[in-house]
Amino acid sequence: MIDDEFVGRGWAFPLDVTANGTIATLGGARKLEQAMALVLRTYPGERPFRPAFGSRLRDFTFEGASVDVLAAVEREVRTSLDLWEPRVSVSDVLVRADPDQPSLLLIDITYVVKGENDERNLVHPFYTIPEEGDY
């Protein structure tokens, strides 16, 4: 079980309210998964006070799904999470194209919360713009 004291507790993203009107918060595994997704969805330069934060995953939107692109996406995901999410150790990143949707890459991230011995998995979808004739 992931310790909220180590991971922390914070506002849910996107901002939400509970049934009793308080700000919704997350902790534990959900908070870590949300934090990793935020790193991958944020492009460097989008945050004025933290201009290097994020990943350049968006650079691959028009690249298709060649073996070279899948390898480059894998490197970018691993590098970004190693740099910006210190609470986890990324064990493996596997990027594969969805067989039913050629414009969808599935990024399978295997990670371990530091201080734990429980391997976890996060699948992050990434959409590309297919070349003409691919759809």
N-terminal to C-terminal alpha carbon distance within the chain: 43
- 93-106, pLDDT tens digit by residue? 999 998 888 789 99
Domain at 38, CATH number: 3.10.450.40
Residue 49 is part of which domain span? 4-127
Residue 133: how many CB atoms within 10 A of its CB? Answer: 5
44 assigned to some structural domain: yes
pLDDT in tens, 3-42: 556 667 777 777 888 899 899 887 778 888 999 999 999 9
What's residue 6's pLDDT? 60
Please check whether residue 133 lies inside any domain of the structure. no
Q: Is 115 part of a structural domain of the chain?
A: yes
User: In this structure, is residue 42 part of a structural domain?
Assistant: yes
Mean pLDDT for 39-61 is 95
Q: Is residue 13 part of a domain?
A: yes
132 in a domain, yes or no?
Answer: no
- Identify the residue with better confidence: 33 or 133: 33
> What pLDDT score does 50 carry?
95
Tokens (6 digits) for 103: 């414009």
User: Is the pLDDT at 90 greater than 70, yes or no?
Assistant: yes
- Residue 75: name the closest of 92, 98, 63 by CA: 92
Q: What are the phi and psi torsion angles at 132 (to 5°)?
A: -60, 135
Report the 10 Å Cβ neighbour count for 132. Answer: 6
Residue in 111, 101, 50 with CA at minimum distance from that of residue 77:
111
Q: How many domains does the chain have?
A: 1
